[in-house]
Structure 1
Amino acid sequence: MAVTASSDVPGPAERSKALEINNTYLRRFLARIALHTTAKFFKHNGPCIPISKHQILKTGYSVHLMEAATMIYVAQNTSIPVPKVYSSFIHKNRAYIIMERIRGKDLASAWKSLSKESLQKILSQLKDIIQELRSIEPPPQTGVESCVGGSLYDSRLPHGTPRLGPFKTPREFHRWLRNDAEASQLRDSITKQEADDIKAMVAQQDGEWPNPVFTHCDLNPSNILIRGQEIVGIIDWEFAGWYPPYWEYTSAWRGNIIRREWQDILLSLLDPFPEELDMERTRCKWWGEWRN
């Protein structure tokens, strides 16, 4: 299945036939049989279940076929190592994605055994991977949206589930993030400094923005597979999509609060966006994960 970034694919239909890949009766039957037979021979954690030495089945009511489409899109447009997708389909309102089981160890598990030299080689590769992902040319009129112009997912956003968007422009996305609030609606109970911070945030959010860049949004050590000193797989693309250029940087800050060492490393690999980070700190305080 060729995946193209196009708004012709309707967002509301993403869980339907529009995004199914190699969907045949035989593949559906074998996948469901594997869950009750071969899967019992392998350890698993979460929605990703090994069903053979070479294949993993990701399934669940929270799993979305967009993740399979995204992996194909990244494979078609970059040299980034991602799992090969063999099939994806919906059965009884439950998504199934059959993909390659990449032979490797996640960076989180390997971290303590790596020498400083090995870790630096891996991080250098990761920096190149991030830059290659961000260098994908967005199609004309691309907004904040998935690889096929549909909705996105981010469980870390207060109202980011089950899906969000798509948004035609970054401004539309930013308005959604702040619940359409305007600076003129500020409460009298807040301090002058808080009011100034919110006004600055709104002005920046409503300003002009460059083209979006393709963003993984969840680059944590558990999603980076290595073999020796080589990155052999980047996994878990469920949060990925076209976002404003600062989003990967601020996602690294938001998503790694309890992993301070990794947060510092990841931020050092990304182009810095200090003004946008201040903007996001204000948003998170009043409309975000740590709203008080």
Structure 2
Amino acid sequence: MVGSEVEQVQSNNGNSIPSRRPADRMSARPQASTDLQHKNKDSRNVRLQRIWRFLKGRSKEEKANMQGSCHGESSRRPTIISRCKNGEGTWIHRNPYGPQVILLSGIVVKFGVGVTKHEAETQAYYNRHTDRSRLIVPQVFDYFTDPTRDSSVEYGFLVMEYIHGAVIKDLPLAERVQIAPRIATAMKYLQTIKPPLPARPGPIIEGGVPCGYFWSDSGPYRTFDSVKDLNTWLDGRIGNPRPEVSPELQLHEFGSRHMDIHPRNILRTSSGQICFVDWQFAGNYPRVFEVLHIKCCEADDPDFFNALLKALPEFEEELHTRKYQCLAQIMSNNILYGVVPSDLSPP
């Protein structure tokens, strides 16, 4: 998991929206590599066995389907709730007004208002469908809500795998810039993962409502059944819906996107693998939406985001399109407070 957590969407931060050798040595190298792979695999198995004991009590069928499951052993939940509330672990991120993250006995728990079942199921889906050698998504072990709280407000507990690694935001500037192309590669790989319903924009989980920087605190508070449905909503947000100013999004533009790429939400493991965390905003979106997010956050770490955009030339091309300008105007209309990035103002 992460050493830092994303703020609530309302924060809307940012001021702009990879000799020859003797025969005996040659033959020895593959064996050494194999031994290292077994060692790494054994190390991960030990961690998972520890977590297994922590969440013991599952049926054989549940254990067989543990990968990506959002339903753990309910008898352990009161203990997890108590330990989270009392801080009986190692804090990764504290936030009295939003989600908090704590390390408990080899697992990570993200909990608080705004931690939803949709987020847990989204993360579980991408964990099941990604190749860990190309992108790590922490495995989800359980999700539940606090039964002692008002049921009208979802106060969730997302129990997941702990990923050992360095948070990108904590690395020296030179390393952050150097790793940007590898993060871009991971983003491109994620785009190849088909969502369950490719024709439906937004969150990949049934009933999921879009959230994130683009939508701000004014909505949409609804789901979208098709790209046409989304385009109609966008036209209504422009304020002056004319064909020449409509974004006219097309289905082929959509794909799986994290939608909160930020140095605080990315880890680099000791073996150099990339891990994305905080899947609250993720879903089936067009590339231009992720470009808008990057522009919103670039003031937080200009050098990193500039390096990231250079590694994604197709993203840079989006900045000069009418579609980008149109969506930037819609985003400005969505924002009820805070500073609108200067380059997101209408031309």
Indicate whether the TM-score tops 0.5: yes
Greater shift, 161-170 or 241-250, is seen at 161-170
Gaps of 5+ in 1: 1-18, 185-197
Inter-partner Cα distance in structure 2 for 1:36 and 1:160:
28
- 2:121 corresponds to which residue? 69
In structure 2, the CA distance between the partners of 1:153 and 1:207, relative to structure 1 (3 Å rule), is closer
Inter-partner Cα distance in structure 2 for 1:285 and 1:35:
37
Letter in 2 for 1:284: M
In the TM superposition, what whole-angstrom CA distance separates every residue of 1:188-233 from its partner, at most 9, and x where no partner exists? xxxxxxxxxx76332xx24644252011011000011113571342
**Which has the greater radius of gyration?**
2
In structure 2, the CA distance between the partners of 1:286 and 1:65, relative to structure 1 (3 Å rule), is closer
Inter-partner Cα distance in structure 1 for 2:269 and 2:177:
12
Inter-partner Cα distance in structure 1 for 2:102 and 2:250:
46
Q: Does 1:247 align with 2:296?
A: no
In the TM superposition, what whole-angstrom CA distance separates every residue of 1:258-284 from its partner, at most 9, and x where no partner exists? 432233223223322231322223333
Inter-partner Cα distance in structure 2 for 1:77 and 1:43:
27
- 2:257 corresponds to which residue? 215
Inter-partner Cα distance in structure 2 for 1:125 and 1:237:
19
> Which protein has greater RCO, CA pairs closer than 8 Å, 6+ apart?
2
Show the 5 A alignment for 1:277-288. Answer: 277-288=324-335
- 1:99 corresponds to which residue? 160
1:52 to 86, 95, 104: 104
Inter-partner Cα distance in structure 2 for 1:36 and 1:60:
10
Inter-partner Cα distance in structure 2 for 1:264 and 1:199:
33
In structure 2, the CA distance between the partners of 1:105 and 1:146, relative to structure 1 (3 Å rule), is same
**Please, what is the CA RMSD of the aligned residues?**
3.1
- 2:272 corresponds to which residue? 230
In the TM superposition, what whole-angstrom CA distance separates every residue of 1:125-164 from its partner, at most 9, and x where no partner exists? 2122111111123455622122223323424245556774
Show the 5 A alignment for 1:1-292. Answer: 21-36=70-85, 39-42=88-91, 44-46=93-95, 47-79=99-131, 80-92=135-147, 93=151, 94-112=155-173, 114-115=174-175, 119-120=177-178, 122-139=179-196, 142-157=199-214, 159-160=216-217, 164-177=221-234, 179-180=236-237, 183=240, 200-202=244-246, 205-206=247-248, 208-210=250-252, 212-228=254-270, 230-270=272-312, 271-272=314-315, 273=318, 274-275=320-321, 276-288=323-335, 290=340
In structure 2, the CA distance between the partners of 1:162 and 1:182, relative to structure 1 (3 Å rule), is closer
Gaps of 5+ in 2: 1-67
Aligned residue pairs total 255
Q: What is the TM-score when the length of structure 2 is the normalising length? A: 0.63
Q: What is the TM-score when the length of structure 1 is the normalising length? A: 0.74
Letter in 1 for 2:331: C
Greater shift, 273-282 or 211-220, is seen at 273-282
Contact 1:210 1:245 in 2 (8 A): no
Letter in 2 for 1:97: L
Inter-partner Cα distance in structure 2 for 1:233 and 1:154:
22
